[in-house]
Amino acid sequence: MNFAGSDCSVHPTADISTNPITGDLMEVQGQWMEVFESSDRRDAGGQDGLPRSSTLTLTPLVAEHPPPPVLRSQPLVIRRSRMQGVELSSSVPSIPNPFPELCSPSQSSVLTGSPSPPRSDTHVSFTVFGEDSHSRSLWVSPRATARDVCRMLVQTAHCSDQENWALIELHPGLGLERVLEDHEVVVKVQAAWPPEGDTKLQFRKNYAKYEFFRKPMLFFPEHMISDSADVTKGMTSAELIQNLLQSGTCPEIQGFLHVREPSRKAWKKVYFFLRRSGLYCSTKGSSKEPRHLQYVADLEDLNVYSITNSRKLYGAPVDFTFCVKPSKDRIRAQDLKLLCAENEQTRTCWTSAFRLFKCGKQLQCNYQMSLSAPRRTEAVSQRCGSDASLVAMDFSGKAGGRVIQNAWEAQSAEREEGQAWRRREALRWSLPNLSLGSSPSSVHRTQPWFHGGASRKQAQRIIEEQGLVDGMFLIRESQQHSQCFVLSLCHKLNTKHYLVIPCEEAGRKYYTMDDGLTLFIDLLQLVEFHQINKGILPVCLKHPCICVAL
**Buried-exposed string 275-297: b where 16+ CB fall within 10 A, e elsewhere:** beeebbbbeeeeeeeeeebeebb
pLDDT in tens, 46-57: 444 444 444 444
The residue extents of the domains of the chain are 7-42+50-60, 106-205, 211-372, 378-383+444-550
**Buried-exposed string 14-41: b where 16+ CB fall within 10 A, e elsewhere:** eebeeeeeeeeeeeeeeebeeeeeeeee
Task: Tell me the residue length of the chain.
Answer: 550
Is residue 230's pLDDT more than 50? Answer: no
Phi-psi region of 455 (alpha: psi -120 to 50; beta: other; left: phi over 0): beta
- Are the C-beta atoms of residues 136 and 128 closer than 8 Å to each other? yes
Note the maximum CA span of the chain. Answer: 144
Which CATH number, 3.40.50.10190, 3.40.250.10, 3.10.20.740, 3.10.20.90, labels domain 106-205?
3.10.20.90
User: CA–CA separation, 147 vs 150, rounded Å?
Assistant: 5
Closest CA to 164 of 410, 378, 422: 378
Is residue 437's pLDDT more than 70? Answer: no
Least confident of 58-72, 225-239, 485-499, 532-546: 58-72
Is residue 187's pLDDT more than 80? Answer: yes
Is residue 280's pLDDT more than 60? Answer: yes
Average pLDDT over residues 445-458: 91
- In this structure, the strands spanning 267-275 and 253-260 are antiparallel
If one compares 530 and 6, the residue with the highest pLDDT of the two is 530
- Per-residue model confidence (pLDDT) at position 398: 55
Report field, pTM of the whole predicted structure over 0.75: no
CA-CA distances (angstroms) from residue 429 to 102, 224, 509? 39, 53, 11
User: CA–CA separation, 26 vs 18, rounded Å?
Assistant: 5
- Are the C-beta atoms of residues 521 and 440 closer than 8 Å to each other? yes
Residue 219 has, within 13 A of its CA and on its CB side, a CA count of 28
Average pLDDT over residues 300-309: 89
- Per-residue model confidence (pLDDT) at position 421: 60
Q: Could you give the percent of the chain with pLDDT greater than 70?
A: 63
3-state secondary structure string, 93-121?
CCCCCCCHHHCCCCCCCEECCCCCCCCCC
Q: Which residues face 511 on adjacent strands?
A: 502, 520
- Per-residue model confidence (pLDDT) at position 459: 95
User: CA–CA separation, 218 vs 204, rounded Å?
Assistant: 24
What average pLDDT does the structure give for the chain?
75
Q: Could you give the percent of the chain with pLDDT greater than 90?
A: 31
Expressed in angstroms, the distance from the first to the final Cα of the chain is 85
- Per-residue model confidence (pLDDT) at position 38: 45
The domain 378-383+444-550 having CATH identifier 3.30.750.24: the answer here is no
Q: Which residues face 57 on adjacent strands?
A: 9, 35
Residue 474: DSSP 8-state: E
Greatest mean pLDDT among 146-160, 340-354, 367-381 lies in 340-354
Which CATH number, 2.40.70.10, 3.40.50.720, 1.20.120.1200, 2.30.29.30, labels domain 211-372?
2.30.29.30
Q: What is the band of 87 on the pLDDT scale with cuts at 50, 70, 90?
A: very low
pLDDT in tens, 259-273: 988 777 889 999 999
User: CA–CA separation, 199 vs 171, rounded Å?
Assistant: 5
Average pLDDT over residues 354-375: 84
- Per-residue model confidence (pLDDT) at position 53: 45
Residue 527's CB: how many other CB atoms inside 10 A? 20
- Per-residue model confidence (pLDDT) at position 134: 86
Residue 252's CB: how many other CB atoms inside 10 A? 20
Is residue 36's pLDDT more than 80? Answer: no
Is residue 45's pLDDT more than 50? Answer: no
CA-CA distances (angstroms) from residue 282 to 271, 279, 499? 6, 10, 47
SS3 315: coil
User: What torsion, rounded to 10 degrees, do the Cα atoms 528, 533, 538, 544 define?
Assistant: 20
Least confident of 113-122, 389-398, 540-549: 113-122
Residue 478's CB: how many other CB atoms inside 10 A? 16
Phi-psi region of 467 (alpha: psi -120 to 50; beta: other; left: phi over 0): left
Residues 6+ apart with CB under 8 A from 148: 108, 109, 110, 140
- Are the C-beta atoms of residues 341 and 347 closer than 8 Å to each other? yes
pLDDT in tens, 381-428: 444 444 445 666 666 655 556 777 777 777 777 767 666 665 665 555
pLDDT in tens, 231-250: 455 566 666 666 666 666 77
Closest CA to 525 of 547, 543, 539, 509: 509
